[in-house]
Amino acid sequence: MEHKLDEFIRHALDAQPISGTSLIISLYGDALSHRGGEIWLGSLSALLEALGFGDRFVRTSVFRLQKEGWLDVEKMGRRSYYRLTEQGMRQFRHAESKIYLSEQPAWDGKWDLLLLENAEKAERARLKKELGWLGFGQIANNLMAAPTHAQTDVAALLGELNAGEQVIYFRADYPYNRSEQTLRQMVAYCWSLSEVAAYYHEFIVSFRPLMMLLREADGSVLTPKRCFQIKLLLIHFFRRVVLKDPLLPDALLPAQWEGQIARNLCINLYQQVDRAATEYVSELAETTIGALPAPGAGYYRRFGGLARTHTTF
């Protein structure tokens, strides 16, 4: 019998187009990256089938992800197993550092400044795009900036971007508080905060009704299958928004920042379905060595700490 949760899931699927490659990236990042990063193609199809995505959809998507360098394939007889590449795992770790925070990052008031003046035009365009994804804003024609974060190693980042010799890196203080209002206005403009807030607002409107549905649901309704579907869609839509967010510190954000409201909502929902969803993945997923490994310690540090599941398969 269909439940209101099934109606919510169907509505979420129909609300906006879902890219197969993007959805599978969400699944790998959320459910598999801390469990070896590998899965049999048949298991992947089984996980997504109940959401209405057929075998052809899955095969086409993983083939594209393989061509783009996210996945490697290993064939054993007639079976194909897809695992994250080193490049894919590195991208997931960058994304994970933004997606699964419990609050805005701490800030010591310092800024990282990157001068791109010496890079060729095409290279500057590439770097601006890459650095923008990593939270830097363009505050002048060839000057990118970001509030200093303890978890960001800028020198290592420039090495990964093959830009260590082209980009000049400064660290700056901001000791003059008389212009704080002007600074906030500049930050709002350079980081397009109104646009980011609109994306967060849409997420809140879409997923807030789920909180009441979960409160009203009993154990017989919150099946592992439903919990998996909810969790995958939740993190898929949240990931699409949060990766557009530069994750600025509270001191630079508007009051009642919708990003933190959306994050708190996501955390509350995620914690309610995580255990059963993890069990469902364990039941269905196969790898080249058999059962999927248990989640690593890093998995349980998400969102400030998750309850561990003790069920083994």
- The better pLDDT of the pair 307, 264 is held by 264
If you average pLDDT over every residue of the chain, what do you get? Answer: 91
pLDDT by residue (tens digit) across 187-216? 999 999 999 999 999 999 999 999 999 999
- Output the pLDDT for position 176: 78
Max Cα-Cα span within the chain = 69
Banded model confidence at residue 311, pLDDT cuts 50, 70, 90: very low
Confidence of residue 218 (pLDDT cuts 50, 70, 90): confident
Lowest mean pLDDT among 95-99, 155-159, 170-174, 191-195: 155-159
| pLDDT in the model for residue 219 | 83
Q: Count CB-CB contacts under 10 A for residue 87.
A: 12
Residue, of 67 and 151, whose pLDDT is higher: 67
pLDDT over 60 at 96, yes or no: yes
SS (H, E, C) the chain: CCCHHHHHHHHHHHHCCCCHHHHHHHHHHHHHCCCCCEEEHHHHHHHHHCCCCCHHHHHHHHHHHHHCCCEEEEEECCEEEEEECHHHHHHHHHHHHHHCCCCCCCCCCCEEEEECCCCCHHHHHHHHHHHHHCCCEEEECCEEEEECCCCCCHHHHHHHCCCCCCCEEEEECCCCHHHHHHHHHHHHHHCCHHHHHHHHHHHHHHHHHHHHHHHHCCCCCCCHHHHHHHHHHHHHHHHHHHCCCCCCCHHHCCCCCHHHHHHHHHHHHHHHHHHHHHHHHHHHCEECCEECCCCCHHHHHHHHCCCCCCCCC
Q: Residue 120: what pLDDT?
A: 85
Average pLDDT, integer, range 53-67: 94
Does residue 1 have a pLDDT over 60? Answer: no
Alpha-carbon distance of 197 to 259, in angstroms, equals: 7
| Average pLDDT for 161-179 | 85
**pLDDT the model gives residue 71:** 96
| Overall average pLDDT of the 162-171 stretch | 87
pLDDT at 31: 96
Q: What percent of the chain has pLDDT over 90?
A: 71
State the pLDDT confidence band at 312, using cuts at 50, 70 and 90.
very low
Region 126-131: what's the mean pLDDT?
89
Q: Which long-range contacts (CB under 8 A, 24 or more apart) does 72-78 make?
A: 74/288, 76/288
